[in-house]
């Protein structure tokens, strides 16, 4: 990591690409993804760790990017919604009405992808518990849960993809 009078040069591994950027030490991963790297699919919500709208995967694990500094994730494998290639999960959200306004959807998709990677056949309880870190103001959650179940059924006999 190079330092320049209050700024730091970082090389980040995002969606399979190496992306160079310059940040301030206190910049969150959320702000750097959106404002420096143009990855605006990662949503700004509470910026307080409560809503999950900003969820991305770091090393395949769901992380609220508003709660992590960009300098902390240099050298980690980061997946944002732009790099998520689990098409079955995306299609299940479409088929089951897993979104309305869509603002929360990138965070839910990434978190659900991580769930299916770890638990390819999750129980209803596991789905509810895993996704309770994400908030949706529109759907009532039933469509989201149906979508995750549908994607799990679709992945039977194959590996559920979590980390893109
Ligand atoms: S914006 Fe990060 S948890 Fe709400
Ligand atoms: S679909 Fe609108 S907030 Fe979830």
**Which one of 66, 82, 98 terminates a domain?**
82
Residue of the nearest CA to atom 4 in ligand 2?
136
SS3 44: coil
Write out the residue range of the structural domain in which residue 64 sits. Answer: 2-82
Which ligand lies nearest to the CA atom of residue 104 in the structure?
A: 2
In 54-96, the DSSP E strands lie at: 55-58, 61-64, 77-79
Q: Measured from the CB, is residue 139 less than 6 Å from ligand 2?
A: yes
The number of the ligand 2 atom at minimal distance from the alpha carbon of 108 is: 4
CA distance 61 to 149: 20
Residue of the nearest CA to atom 2 in ligand 2?
101
CB-count exposure of residue 36 (10 Å: 0-12, 13-18, 19+): middle
Q: How confident is the model at residue 161 (pLDDT cuts 50, 70, 90)?
A: very low
From 127, 154, 155, select the one nearest 141 (Cα to Cα).
127
SS3 133: coil
Residue 69 in any domain: the answer is yes
- Average model confidence (pLDDT) for the chain? 93
Q: Is the pTM of this model over 0.75?
A: yes
20-73 per-position pLDDT tens digit: 999 999 999 999 999 999 999 999 999 999 999 999 999 999 999 999 999 999
User: Are 75 and 123 found together in one domain?
Assistant: no
Which ligand lies nearest to the CA atom of residue 28 in the structure?
A: 1
User: Are 74 and 6 found together in one domain?
Assistant: yes
């Amino acid at each position: 990591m190079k330092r320049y009078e209050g700024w730091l040069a970082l090389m980040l591994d995002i969606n399979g690409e190496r992306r160079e950027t310059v940040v301030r030490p206190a910049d969150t991963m959320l702000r750097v993804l959106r404002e420096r790297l143009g990855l605006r699919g990662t949503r700004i919500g509470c910026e307080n760790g409560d809503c999950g709208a900003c969820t991305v995967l770091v090393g395949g694990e769901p992380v609220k990017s508003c709660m992590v500094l960009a300098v902390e994730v240099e050298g980690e494998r980061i997946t944002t919604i732009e790099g998520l290639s689990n098409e079955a999960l995306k299609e299940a959200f479409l088929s089951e009405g897993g979104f309305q306004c869509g603002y929360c959807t990138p965070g839910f998709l990434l978190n659900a992808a991580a769930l299916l990677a770890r638990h390819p056949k999750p129980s209803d309880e596991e789905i509810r518990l895993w996704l309770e870190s994400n908030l949706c103001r529109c759907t009532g959650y039933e469509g989201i849960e149906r979508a995750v179940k549908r994607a799990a059924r679709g992945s039977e006999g194959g590996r559920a993809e979590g980390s893109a």
